[in-house]
Structure 1
Amino acid sequence: MRFLFNYITRLLLIVLMVAPTLITAQKLIYKDASLPIEDRVNDLLNRMTVEEKVGQMLMFGAQRVARKGKDGSLVITDWGKPYFTNGLGGLKFPFQKETPEESARLNNELQKKIIASNRFGIPALFVGEAYNGVDAKGCTSFGRPLNLAASWNVNLTHDVWSAIGRESRLRGWHMVHSPVGDIARDPRFGRMSEGYGEDTFLTTEMLVAAVTGVQGDYNGTGFNTSHIGAVVKHFAGYSQVVGGRNFAAVEVSPRVLLDELLPPFKTAVQRGHALAIMPSHGDINGVASHGNPWLLTDLLRKQWGFNGYVVSDAYDVGRLNFLMKVAENIEEAVKLGLKAGVDLDLYSEDVYELLPEMVKKDPSLLPYIDRAAGDMLRTKFIMGLFDNPYIDVEETKKGVRSKENLSLAKEMDEESMILLKNENQILPLNKKESRKIALIGPLLGEDTKEAFESVAGDKVSFVAEKGYELTNRNSKHPELTPRNDAALDKMVELAKDADVSILFVGGDRFTAQEATFFKWVIGDRATIEPVGVQDELIQRVKALGKPVIVVLKHRRTLSFNVINDNADAVLDCWEMTEFGDELVAKVLFGEFSPSGKLPVTVPRTIGQIPYHYSMKEISFFKDYLFLESGPLYPFGYGLSYSKFSYSQPKLTSDILERDGTIQVTVDVMNTGKVTAKEVVQMYIKDMFGSVLRPDKELKGFEKIELKPGETKTVQFTITPDMLVFTGVEMKPIIEAGDYEVMLGTSSQEYQKTSFRLK
């Protein structure tokens, strides 16, 4: 009996000794990839200290934490080492200046170090930017987002951003602070080319294509780990700053906010499943966006169902105190940002880091910390970083700057160039005709002449002269270069000796850039005319009596009246890819027909601003003294080397039921002599409303290709949802009544029909 007692006692002791290990193993839910993500998030969150949770709420510039040593090894800085113990939310621009392969290798090593240094093995997010493709050494250089808007090609936009997503992931990045959902209506604003133009519908469709592309068609489940997450910004109304000046106040009506500025973000969340949101530097009705619980919690999370993370724009939680002046001290700023819904504080080392001490005095902050850390962890689980945090460097070598991506860049150039003017059909130029062409102007590139020679062949000869730089190319404080009469004379002399002159004019990247928080870094403008002596240059060349073709390169809308009046042809290129000059040469010599359309209205003068096609009808009632009526070029405008005719649109019914749909069709025929693409645009006008309504609104578009003599029928479906707007009581409504439908080639050239909503 004693023997049995001793045996049972020893057995119990063994069970008690083993039990903690078994229980611990059973409780490691967060490590089990087969379990639901929310279970993994909650399990890990419950194990973490406040300090570890706050660690997930911090993101620093990677250079402060890690760098490449002289021998190519990973070096962790003394400043960065203490942060590894509690884990980090992320790092911005890790190894941005290294080659893709070096970046992948070093990011693998850095991630391994971060995972090994914190007790739960939590990986960090490595984050970049993507305005012209991945903003890092050795990646494919694409054009600006506004170029994609000019293409009016949703599939192309998706594919370009998919390439950006793949190239980002292959260098070891997991998110980009892109794309931009801001509506760009003020060309004084230096960042207007980061978005998709002035229109809500076009921006929405392009933004969703960008988000789904960069995220690998993530639909809320089963993230594609070959891609990255999107951080959609700047939420919301950012580009509506007064005077077009970065960091200025935002003055928009609640109705404009709801009907025009918020829809792209809502759709990016609900259709695009964006993983993160960045608030605006600005305010809405006086409430700072980074301290706005209605915006970041009630609207974004509760109404729209967003469950990603919200990251501050650089330093903006702290700026609630020292810029916005809505918090009397940093601690108050921390509370405002955290409670409003900001999960991750970008760059600051003295803001959210205060939380562990603050929560000791105010335990009510803990649920907000849990929410923020949970949002960060959830994103990392979704992206598969806990299970597969590293990059195959061999894949990096094959996947970055692949033939497919370089071909895609060329396609972006081809689709986005806009032919604004072509008097006497001077374009396309004839390769078979012997002539001398002068390539001149301050936007001429180093390799432009070589690109034109490779395209044009032997019978056409070229002379080239840049003349001068527009600016001193100082990124912090650009200044215009002094007048250079010798340079002007030299360009005119070249034009005098040539048969045709092609002028490369507009604006360089320093004449339209982000104006940062530091006062000496400016990028917004008070005027929108071409700077310097560009008007004089084209007038002198035109006076020679020979054809003048303008290639317009720029990042902001320009009122280029003098250039337009003196040019025989104008090709609007915005800011193109690394292959831009090659594709410009090809389109000028007729290898394809231009098919881009304006994603913005081009005003005649800054005095017309605000000026966009979808303003309220009464805004177009009166013109200005001493100014020609209308814009220089309207929204949606763009010529072709061919001609298109539109039939009268047909409706399947002239009555739209509240729960029904109707289809509208139009026949489009290529009546010209070359194969070309056309963007068929559908606008709808509410003829009478309980509040003042827009003159017209874009509600559909499709890009089609037609051979000479070919006709295609284009169909759009009209739904009641298209007619919803914010009514008198500031609630979404739809009103019975008459609506006009316009189908055509621009916002000012169309065929129309009408229907009635019952």
Structure 2
Amino acid sequence: MKHFLFLLLVLPGVRGLTQQPLYKDSTQPVERRVADLLSRMTPEEKSWQIFMIPGDIDHAEPGQYRNGLFGFQVSAGGRGDAGGQLLNYNTSENALRVAHKINGIQRYFVEQTRLGIPIIAFDEALHGLVREGATAFPQSIGLAATWDTALMGRVAASIASETRRRGIRDILSPVVNLASDVRWGRTEETYGEDPFLASAMGVAFVGAFERVGIITTPKHFVANVGDGGRDSYPIHYSERLLDERFLAPFKACIDRGGSRSIMTAYNTVDGTAASSNPWLLLDKLKRQWGFKGFVISDANAVGGELVLHHTAKDYPSSAQHAINGGLDVIFQTEYKHHALFLPDSSLGRIDSARLNDAVARVLRAKFELGLFEHPYVSETAVKADEDKENKAIARQAARESFVLLKNEGQVLPIRRGVKTIAVLGADAAEARLGGYSGPGNGKVSILQGIKERAGAGVRVIYAEGANRDNRDYSVIPATYLQYEGREGLHGIYFASRHADSLPVAERMDRNIDFHWTLSPPAPGLTTDWYSAQWTGTLTAPVTGKFRIGLEGNDGYRLYINDSLIVSRWEKQSYHTTLADYSFVKGRRYDIRVEFFETNGDATIRLVWNVRDTVDRAKKIREAVAAARQSDMAVVVAGITEGEFQDRAMLSLPGDQEALIQAVAATGKPLVVLLVGGSAITMNNWIDKVQAIGAVWYPGEEGGHAVADVLFGDYNPAGRLPITYPVHEAQLPLVYNHKPTGRGDDYNNLSGMPLFPFGFGLSYSKFVYEDLGFEKNAIAVGDSTTILLRVTNASDREGDEVVQLYIHDELASVARPVMELKGFQRVHFRPRESQVLSFIITPDMLRMLDKDLHWVIEPGEYRIMIGGSSRDLRVKRNLVVY
């Protein structure tokens, strides 16, 4: 009887203890699960769900992550302090290793934390997952040059497959910013200058991921290229301009592609940091657009309020401004940054409703991904080697991205009688993949591709000729520097302009090659008004007279054996100062460098020309000799660009222009292939060469694809997604600008581009015939169809990219001179004709009126169709009443 009474008393309690919480019941609606889990969380647990970092738990202290975490970018890490903006990526771990690591991390969070909330593993996948074994497709600008949304969908689906099998469920891609100024170093990451094209490509990309359960994160919200084509410069655009152009691709990715995350930009928008901008994140994105996903910052962007924009007094205040302003997740680069931004003592300063909303958005995503039910990836299903089909897709994408810019005398495709080809330029032998790339799988250089396609009957001669290096000097490496038996120099840092004050920091520096922009050189210093002194010895590697000196801004001095060799102590702008000095091999020379910085953006380098022992003119002579003994020459030339690498000049760097001109002077047919993600000026050589092709960064199969085009196995049909200017003075230069109060020309330069948006040649000729409208007058809100016949007037099959542009002939506010509103990439057999149609929908005709409302105004609209923005062969007016 006692046992029976005991069971009666105890069993209800046991039932209560073992009852599954509602949030773990997969049959419940997501919103109920979110609300239940949110109600159980402590403020500390909430703060960790809005914090994401690169890393893993391999070296975590016991209980370090007891409160959970949004997620990890596994096997990655930050560079620098809480203000640093770049990450290091571990691309040496294969798919199985990554999946195993992510499973281990999930197991900890699901089984060892109080609430068992799984993490979201996230990564970069701009044009291929940045991982070992993942396929490297053409860079984004190259994918845009295909003007093929179906192919873009196949590319994205391939990347998504390689991403999901590793357990990665959130990608920090794509970049849907508009390349409004081609000096911008990150143009390569975009889909070009046009909102319609960027939207179409972005939607195709994100849709392929979202359909298989991977969150996409269009970035950087918003307009992160400012005056002068400089990255993350302050943005002062009107709401009209933002809505018409820069916000459009983001909205398309959300509405039509299903993107569930957005990443903010580093810059300010109308004076407020994008990561804490309530108008941008709350009013526009969440309230006006109804966005239900979560907003993350760029890496270490939240702290920009403190260290860059000076609109927050400390890191907790910047976090408060960001979350209260509409940000949902703070992306930092180290675990310890959580205590800087979200210490327990400051959580009360964040609006509780806003904090709960941010956490709810994260939890909703984790429930939608099914991570509570299926947190692990099947390691047995992970393949060490990726699908062979993906390499075929990569090759096709590279083929379609090839833009033929010039083909004088039909020098391309290469004729059968050619027996010797000179392939010249460093970029011919190096298969560069562009920014945010993994290592690729057996990437093929252009040189290799040409050799393989040419076969035994054609001799291919290679000579470097020239590379992208602009300098005649290089940074002195640590191997020649020493201080008290240690490699490098002894650095002393002072919090004033003068070295006679007390030092703030001392350390060993391997060499002098510093660029301090976002953070000071040492703790205890600010980002301006400091100085440094380096001492040690320099061992000469060879005997001879060489040039040695300093490159930097503000003041610098160089002493060798206590003699002043270089001095620009009062110079406060960027400069390189070199002096001749005679060295004896093996002898040690005492060296002292002094430097001061007054106002941010400090650069200082100790340089010489000892390394550059090969005569650069000799390299060009060797390339010319190779061209002379060949039937034709191919020069592959490239540019240097990327994050933190905006370009002031758009010409080819180094001696590449000299190489092109020298080879052209031989009289041999010359093809120039351009490797890079942006526009290049060509005034010094364009009229001296027969053919030019923009190959972008064509991916791991790029060498094969380029050879396919050169030898005529594939008929090029890529089109420019950006405008190529004649000169930098024309910039910014986009095709869809609004009418001017004057003309477009300068008094000494045309306003017209070198190559217009949408331009690209083919080995075929296409003829357009206007077939008219289905209805040439429609009511507001109705649609109509325009028809045309396109004929391939050649004996070679190929693609034509048919482009439709619209201009509002009379509007209540100024409208662009033309806007892309449709395109089709169509394949034609030899001599084939096809009747094509475009449906003119209300969405194509809408505009923002004076009150910033989207409307369709009655009137006439010019409908123009052709092969580029300046080759419009079908033109008709549509009446809207």
Q: TM-score if structure 2 supplies the norm length? A: 0.78
Cα displacement (A) at 1:629: 4.9
CA drift of 1:689 comes to 1.3
| 1:376 shift after superposition | 1.3
Work out the CA distance in 1 between the residues paired with 2:732 and 2:660: 28
Residues 1:154 and 2:149 are matched in the alignment: yes
For residues 103 and 548 of structure 1, the distance between their equivalents in structure 2, rounded to whole angstroms, comes to 46
Q: CA deviation at 1:544?
A: 0.9
8 Å Cα contact 1:649-1:752 kept in structure 2: no
- Does the 8 A contact of 1:96 with 1:103 survive in 2? no
C-alpha distance in 2 between matches for 1:185 and 1:271: 24
**What is the CA-CA distance between 1:16 and the residue it aligns to?**
5.2
Measure the CA separation in 1 of the matches of 2:343 and 2:458. Answer: 71
The structure 2 residue matched to 1:114, chosen from 88, 93, 109, is 109
Q: In 1, distance between residues paired with 2:18 and 2:787?
A: 63
Q: Deviations over 1:272-304 (max 9, x none)?
A: 111211011112222211111121122211222
Task: Please tell me whether the aligned partners of residues 786 and 839 of structure 2 are also in contact (alpha carbons under 8 angstroms).
Answer: yes
Question: 1:242 aligned to 2:242?
Answer: no
Residue number among 36, 45, 49 corresponding to 2:38 in the alignment: 45
Cα distance in 2 for partners of 1:148, 1:709 equals 28
Deviates more, 1:466-475 or 1:498-507: 466-475
Counterpart contact for 1:420–1:571, Cα < 8 Å:
yes
The whole-number CA distance in structure 1 between the counterparts of 2:232 and 2:850 is 31
Residue number in structure 2 paired with 1:457: 455
Alignment partner of 1:497 is 2:481 = no
Match of 2:311? 326
Superposed counterparts of 1:634-713, under 5 Å: 634-713=756-835
Spell out the pairing of 1:254-333 with structure 2 (5 A cutoff).
254-333=239-318
Kindly report the root-mean-square deviation, in angstroms, between the aligned alpha carbons of the 2 structures: 2.3
Amino acid at match of 2:321: L
The one-letter code of the counterpart of 1:615 is H
Q: Does 1:404 align with 2:418?
A: no
State how far apart, in whole Å, the 2-side matches of 1:655 and 1:17 are: 81
Cα shift at 1:715:
1.0
Q: 2:23 aligns with which of 14, 20, 30?
A: 30
* C-alpha distance in 1 between matches for 2:631 and 2:99: 51
Task: Tell me whether 1:365 sits opposite 2:389 in the alignment.
Answer: no
Q: Please, which of 429, 434, 439 is the counterpart of residue 423 of structure 2?
A: 439
Aligned to 2:537: none
- Which of 207, 226, 229 does residue 215 from structure 2 map onto? 229
Q: Which amino acid aligns with 2:182?
A: P
Letter in structure 2 aligned against 1:373? V
Give the conservation status (yes or no) of the 8 Å contact 1:84–1:117: no
- Residue 443 of structure 1: SS of its match in structure 2? helix
Superposition map of 1:535-546 within 5 A: 535-546=657-668
Quote how far apart the aligned CAs of 1:24 are. Answer: 5.2
Structure 2 matches for 1:479-498, cutoff 5 A?
Answer: 484-498=616-630
Aligned to 1:520: none
Q: For 1:360 and 1:700, locate their aligned partners in 2 and report how far apart those are by CA, in whole Å.
A: 49
User: Quick one: distance in 2 between partners of 1:649 and 1:465?
Assistant: 53
Cα deviation digits, residues 514-533 of structure 1 (max 9, x gap) = 01xxxxxxx11211111122
Cα distance, 1:685 vs structure 2: 0.4
SS at match of 2:383: helix
Instruction: Name the amino acid aligned to 2:310.
Output: K
Distance 1:302 1:628, change over 3 A: closer
Contact 1:230 1:276 in 2 (8 A): yes
Structure 1 residues 433 and 130, CA gap change in structure 2 (3 angstroms): same
SS in 2 for 1:584: helix
Contact 1:449–1:463 (8 Å) recurs in 2: no
Q: 1:684 to 1:354 in 2, by over 3 A?
A: closer
Work out whether 1:755 is the aligned partner of 2:753.
Answer: no
The share of aligned pairs that are identical, in percent, is 34
Partner of 1:98: 93
**Would you say the 8 A contact 1:418–1:595 is kept in 2?**
yes
Provide the secondary structure at the position in 2 that maps to 1:663.
Answer: strand
Letter paired with 1:131: L
Aligned to 2:559: none
Report the alpha carbon displacement of residue 546 of structure 1 after superposing the two structures with TM: 1.3
Offset of residue 441 of structure 1: 1.3
Tell whether 2:638 aligns with 1:506. Answer: yes
In structure 2, distance between residues paired with 1:476 and 1:100: 36
Q: Which runs of 5+ in 2 are unaligned?
A: 76-89, 431-444, 476-512, 516-604
Shift of 1:512: 0.5
Structure 1 residues 715 and 434, CA gap change in structure 2 (3 angstroms): closer
Q: 1:356 to 1:442 in 2, by over 3 A?
A: closer
Partner of 1:137: 132
Q: Across the two proteins, how many residue pairs are aligned to each other? A: 716
Q: Distance in 2 between matches of 1:528 and 1:707?
A: 38
Partners of 2:418 and 2:458 within 8 A in 1: yes
Equivalent of 1:17, from 10, 13, 18? 10
1:171 and 2:155 correspond:
no
1:603 CA displacement: 0.5
Distance in 2 of aligned mates of 1:136 and 1:581: 21
Q: Contact between 2:744 and 2:750, CA under 8 Å: does it hold in 1?
A: no
Query: Partners in 2 of 1:463 and 1:206 — Cα distance?
Result: 39
Letter in 1 for 2:637: V
Secondary structure at the counterpart of residue 574 of structure 1: coil
CA distance change for structure 1 residues 43 and 303 in 2, over 3 Å: closer, same or farther? Answer: same
Distance 1:560 1:16 in 2: 89
Question: SS of the counterpart of 1:462?
Answer: strand
**Following TM superposition, by how much is the alpha carbon of 1:434 offset from its aligned partner in structure 2, in angstroms?**
4.4
**Greater helix fraction, Structure 1 or Structure 2:** 1
Structure 1: give runs of 5+ residues left out of the alignment.
Answer: 67-74, 218-223, 516-522
Given residue 103 of structure 2, which amino acid in structure 1 is its aligned partner? N
Deviations 1:645-678 (A, max 9, x none): 0012511111121121011111110001100001
Deviation at 1:27, TM superposition (A): 5.6
Cα distance per residue 1:327-362 (max 9 Å; x no partner): 222232122101111111111644576546346654
Match of 1:743 among 865, 870, 880: 865
Corresponding residue for residue 371 of structure 2 = 385
Give the corresponding residue for 1:72.
none
Per the alignment, residue 567 of structure 1 pairs with 689
| Superposed displacement of residue 460, structure 1 | 1.6
- Please give the alpha-carbon distance, in whole angstroms, between the structure 2 residues aligned to 1:407 and 1:284: 42
Deviations 1:578-608 (A, max 9, x none): 1111111111110010010000110001110
Residue matched to 1:199: 194
Give the whole-Å Cα distance in 2 for the aligned partners of 1:351 and 1:392. Answer: 32
Aligned: 1:591 with 2:713: yes
